[in-house]
Amino acid sequence: MKPLTLSSFFSDTEMLERRIQRTQKALKGDKSLQAELDLLKRIIAVLEEGKSARTLDLTPDEEIFAKSLNMLSYKPIIYVANVSEEDLVSGEENHFVKEVRDLLKQKMRKLLRFVLRLNKKFQNLMMTIKWPF
């Protein structure tokens, strides 16, 4: 999970730095962009602390603007653990699921457990198909 988080932070930071440069240039002629510039700098500061943009407390107007930036670190995340049917029914968790759940408790997030089971016939069919690549 960590490498994906870091890459989204780097991507967002790079995009925000370009946006800040454009906004600073436009600010010379339009002083109303100061609030936008301040918010962009707040978001970058949070990312540089290693936190997600989702952790910012934003006003409704700031939320609309933040969503318009399409930052990866601002998008919602779904955490899913694929478990066996037996574990799902019994409620038992293997050490991997426990590790993820503990991590998510620290972040105040929830874990969705589910069972992904493919039909055996479908699995066999997929193996017999000659893929062109």
pTM of the complete model: 0.62
Per-residue pLDDT, averaged over 71-80, amounts to: 80
pLDDT in tens, 50-62: 888 888 889 999 9
Cα-based distances in Å from 24 to 6, 20, 29, 32, 104: 27, 6, 10, 11, 38
Residue-level pLDDT at 76: 78
Q: Whole-number mean pLDDT of the chain?
A: 79
Question: Which one, of 81, 72, 71, 75, lies nearest residue 104 by Cα?
Answer: 81
Domain 2-74: CATH superfamily, name plus number? Obg-related GTPase Ych/YyaF, coiled-coil domain (1.10.150.300)
Residue with the larger pLDDT of the pair 15 and 129: 15
Q: Are strands 80-82 and 112-114 parallel, antiparallel or unpaired?
A: parallel
Band (110; pLDDT cuts 50, 70, 90): low
pLDDT tens track for 15-51: 999 999 999 999 888 888 999 999 999 999 999 888 8
pLDDT tens digit string along 3-25? 456 677 888 999 999 999 999 99
Per-domain residue ranges of the chain: 2-74, 80-128
